[in-house]
Amino acid sequence: MPEPVGPKAELQTLRPDHAPALLVFERENRAYFAATIPDRGDDYFARFDERLRALLAEQEAGICHFHVLVDTAGAVLGRVNLVDVADGAADLGYRIAERAAGRGLATWGVREVCRRAVGAYSLTSLRAATTLDNLASRAVLARTGFIVTGETRLSGRPGLTYVRRLRP
């Protein structure tokens, strides 16, 4: 089994200076991500700088909390985000680079964001959803205390919805 990477990565709040490494992460992993989640499309990459500025503005407004998992060399290994923050709740989303998958980084990153959700963002619950065939994501959610709340469709594919109640 590969060595866990959690302790070798740092969860950082998304900043403008992450842009070059974040773009590399998204480009290098585009096909890998598209196998389990909807592709971002060519426009995402063509307008990456504009999109990042918009995300940072949402973060500044407190609507979202974006995070990157960064290795010691500054490369982005993953993203763990809280979006649509309202009434003490938010939606959780995450993606991990193919080269870092299967080593516990997603579980570690989700746990870290859950801690921040309580301590820094004063949230009381998180929601998540994943497709039925994304077994890795389903396992991460189960390991990090999320419980299944129902069924859904994600880009036409069957999926599950989850919730995790947060305690200080």
The CATH number for 160's domain is 3.40.630.30
Based on the number of CB atoms within 10 Å of its own CB, is 43 exposed (0-12), middle (13-18) or buried (19 or more)?
exposed
Q: What is the pLDDT of residue 39?
A: 76
Number of domains into which the chain is organized? 1
Q: What is the pLDDT of residue 41?
A: 85
Give domain status of residue 37, yes or no: yes
Domain that residue 83 falls in = 6-165
Helix/strand/coil for 112: helix
Taking a C-beta distance cutoff of 8 angstroms, is the pair 126, 166 a contact?
yes
77 — phi, psi (to 5°)? -100, -15
Q: What is the pLDDT of residue 101?
A: 93
CA–CA gap between residue 68 and residue 96 (Å, rounded) = 10
Supply the pTM of this predicted model.
Answer: 0.90
